[in-house]
Amino acid sequence: MSVRVVVADDQEIVRTGLAIMLNAQPDIEVVGEAGDGRQAVELARRLRPDVCLLDIRMPGIDGIEATRLLAGPAVADPLAVVVITTFDLDEYVYAALRAGARGFLLKDAGTALLGQAVRAAASGDALIAPNITTRLLKAFAGTAPAPVPRQPVDPLTEREEQVLALVARGRTNAEVAAELFITLSTVKTHVTSLMNKLGARNRVEVAIWAFETRRIEL
């Protein structure tokens, strides 16, 4: 079955371009388009797509607030959100991840990376543009105001620490499996255990926790 996507961008030419790139991929289907954040939230809640692709700077409700409304901590049944923008600004990335986004891309990422990010979000993974990922997470772990990092309900095992380090560096499950010489199902088990122990909703929150607690140093 195709990954169903809602695309939101206030610039029609950009929105159309994104839709064309996604629809050109055999396993992805754009089921709705929105020109502002409020419309995006309403459309996503009605259509329940597999992934919402949201621009950050939109009139009314911006992409960050739309992400919070669709995937934030207060949402009982959150949707997968990938945030996309032309602005490579640190505060945007951190705010998007804090709001619940599973991915963050620049608009010049290209068709291949865009498709990867949508598929990753749909499957529960996270993909952040490689030129953004760890540099920004590390910077904000030391400078952004945030609650005191929660401690795990149970100590992490040695293998979980290894998986944590790779997840925090943006590795996919398949890449973690290859680097640690373990099966994909074993990686998924460890990631699920990490999420349960840390009270994290997704692997992006796991990565943020790793940087906030200085478990990972680059």
DSSP string over 56-102: S--SSS-HHHHHHHHHSTT-SSPPEEEEEES---HHHHHHHHHHT-S
Round the CA-based radius of gyration of the chain to a whole number and report it: 17
Burial category of 112 from C-beta neighbours within 10 Å (exposed 0-12, middle 13-18, buried 19 and up): exposed
Distance CA 203, CA 132 (A): 16
Whether the per-residue pLDDT at 100 is higher than 70: the answer is yes
Predicted local confidence at residue 131, as pLDDT: 56
Residue 59 in tokens: 């009139």
pTM of the model: 0.72
Residue 196 in tokens: 């349960």
Predicted local confidence at residue 105, as pLDDT: 86
Q: pLDDT tens across 22-68, in order?
A: 999 999 999 999 999 999 999 999 999 999 999 998 988 999 999 99
Distance CA 46, CA 41 (A): 9
Q: pLDDT tens across 198-213, in order?
A: 988 777 778 878 877 8
Q: Averaged over 96-117, what is the pLDDT?
A: 86
Q: Are the beta carbons of 44 and 52 closer than 8 angstroms? A: yes
Residue 4 DSSP one-character state:
E
Predicted local confidence at residue 132, as pLDDT: 59
Domains assigned to the chain: 3-140 (3.40.50.2300), 158-213 (1.10.10.10)
Find the range with the poorest average confidence among 32-41, 66-75, 80-89, 179-188: 80-89
Predicted local confidence at residue 151, as pLDDT: 80
Task: Identify the three-state secondary structure at position 54.
Answer: strand
